[in-house]
Amino acid sequence: HLDWFSYFSNLLEVMNPIQTPHDLLFDYPALSKGKYPSYDVLIVNSVPMSGQLPDYNPWFFERLVKEYKDQGLSVITTLPTGLCESTLQLGMSVTDIGCLAKSVNRIQGVDTGPMWTTYNVWSTTPTRIVYSAAHAINLLNTITYSTLGNT
């Protein structure tokens, strides 16, 4: 992404506002506000609607929830699984999910809308595992898998 911004800034003959990976993090003030419960794991199991994960399978994420819960970890998902709380059932917005990211240890899931606000300046330490056939995410030491079968 840094190369993309550099290319277009040069093309437009304007200063490039994105110089470092940190510049790509969301920093709008609403992400710094609010208190949310702590969870060990946030699973972004929202359905990808732009082809970023052709082998999306909701049961893959249900299995992840079961595995983490069997390890005694607290889990929240973006879509209901019937196995734990979900941000959808709690009426949380994408901004709320970004705020929630400040209080989790691991974020794992699909490269889709609710994942992106977790990349913010107040949430730089959770381990991130992202599934995306579209591109690798070179931000905050994210581990990217191109298919669900790679894990």
* Cβ neighbours, 10 Å, residue 91: 7
Dihedral pair phi/psi, residue 124, rounded to 5°: -105, -10
Choice between 20 and 90, residue whose per-residue pLDDT is larger: 90
* Cβ neighbours, 10 Å, residue 18: 15
Reading the block at residue 81, the tokens are: 């699984």
- pLDDT, one tens digit per residue, over 93-134 is 999 999 999 999 999 999 999 999 999 999 998 899 999 888
SS3 of the chain: helix, strand, coil, percent, to 5: 30, 20, 50
pLDDT of residue 43: 98
pTM: 0.89
